[in-house]
Amino acid sequence: MNRILVIGASGKTGRHVVPEVIARGAAVRAGSRHPEKLQFDGADPTRFDWDDETSWRPALDGVHAVYLVKPPATDVVEVVGKFLDAMEVAGANRLVFLSECATQTRADHITERHAERLVEASNLDWTILRPSWYMDDIIDSEFFGPMVRDGRIIVMTTGGSATAWIDARDIADVAAELLVNGGSTGCALDLTGPEALSLSELAKRISIAAGEAITAIEESVLEAEERMRGEGLNEEFIAYMTRIAQSIMSGDTAGVTTEVERVTGHPPRSIEAFLTEHAAQLQPSQGEVATTSAEHDLQRARDNEALFHRLISAWASSDFDALLDCFADDMVYTDMPFPDRPVVGKPAFREHVKSYNSLFADGQVEVEFVTLVANANNVVGELLCQAQYVGPGAPDGGLPVRWHATLVDTIADGRVMTEHVYFDPTAFDQAVQQAAALRTSN
């Protein structure tokens, strides 16, 4: 059985990598400065301290692969270089190295790119992961969490460019798959979520999940640097954050990739789903006045669930007037297989859904609710849909089709503001091809 060392097992990604590796049937050595605090079923808690090189060899003993997150040290490059040498000596030849978005755009002497260059020059079977900004940072107490929860603001330097935020769990899924089953050796993978958002778009999404307005504040580079100095941050960290800001402003974080789905077989999680799941962590800290009572939030969740049921019933029966009554006038609808083609406003949405429902006999769809989760501001529903497909390629009389769809809705004042729909658009093509093959064989 492969044995894999996960460094930083209690960290933002490491805590997800450990169970994902175990789920794939490999043995895990969970490395941490404080292994006694780790709580993983099926993992081997192991002391690993970047500041104590004597802890490296025991952690590497018998290990086939390593998940490596850069150490929080001033001499990062030197420490990483020594550790890569230790891996080679120990015979641990597979490395998944967590880097960050747009590192390849920076000069070789810059710390984060220098560390990558050491990995690339090693004799290891390496893969570098370059994830975009983590969704988790929105709620993290060391990043945007306090300003969102208590200041009701989010402050960034973007220059108007977008960022394709990613859930740390999707990074972990990719890392675990590569550690256990290999692939992408000698490659650097750019990992993103399913869409890129400007700062104002991000603030709007957070506002809907939080239940009140979160104000987007755009800082210049100089303003950000002065603010960080006022907070007592050191110049090295300030320079690092400035490099990230410059990458965003240059558009380096705006691209959306398909690497998560290619490696793991599932699409990356949406920011709506993340914010819905963590809505409680967007509320004011303990001691602050809550914006709504628990009873009121519960009633809103019930109302939103009822709204979602009405919406699905209206769509499934092609009752377009009733369907549009569930949406706000400035609604935005996105079929996530085609994220660059959002439908904005009710008139455009009516035409879009009429065209879609015309693919089915009498415009009728049978819908089964697989999963439905609602809170005061969002609904996430997984549906199993069945219909008689009569669209392009269908034989006379049509043919039966089944497909799954997941809808993520944001709701305000009793109306859907945004709806993102995840489904496999090839389901209909595959049904047509299977029907054609059956006719040919007969």
Q: How far apart are CA 221 and CA 249, in angstroms?
A: 10
SS (H, E, C) 157-225: CCCCCCECCECHHHHHHHHHHHHHHCCCCCEEEEECCCCCECHHHHHHHHHHHHCCCCEEEECCHHHHH
- Name the residue among 166, 155, 319 with its Cα closest to residue 245: 155
DSSP state of 138: G
User: What pLDDT does 239 receive?
Assistant: 86
Chain-centroid distance of CA 362 in Å reads 38
pLDDT for 134 equals 93
3-state secondary structure of 395: coil
Beta-strand pair 215-218/187-191: unpaired
pLDDT at 393: 86
Q: How many residues does the chain have?
A: 442
Which pLDDT value is given to residue 1? Answer: 55
Phi-psi region of 62 (alpha: psi -120 to 50; beta: other; left: phi over 0): left
Q: In what order do the strands lie in the sheet with 125-131?
A: 43-47, 27-32, 3-7, 65-69, 94-98, 125-131, 187-191
User: Closest Cα partner for 35 from 27, 26, 25, 43?
Assistant: 43
What is the 8-class DSSP label of residue 10?
T
Blockwise average pLDDT, block size 10, the chain, 442 residues: 86 91 91 87 90 92 93 83 92 93 86 90 94 92 86 88 93 95 93 93 91 86 82 82 88 92 92 90 67 65 92 95 93 88 93 94 93 88 93 88 92 90 84 70 56
pTM for this predicted structure: 0.65
| Calpha distance 54→178 (Å, rounded) | 28
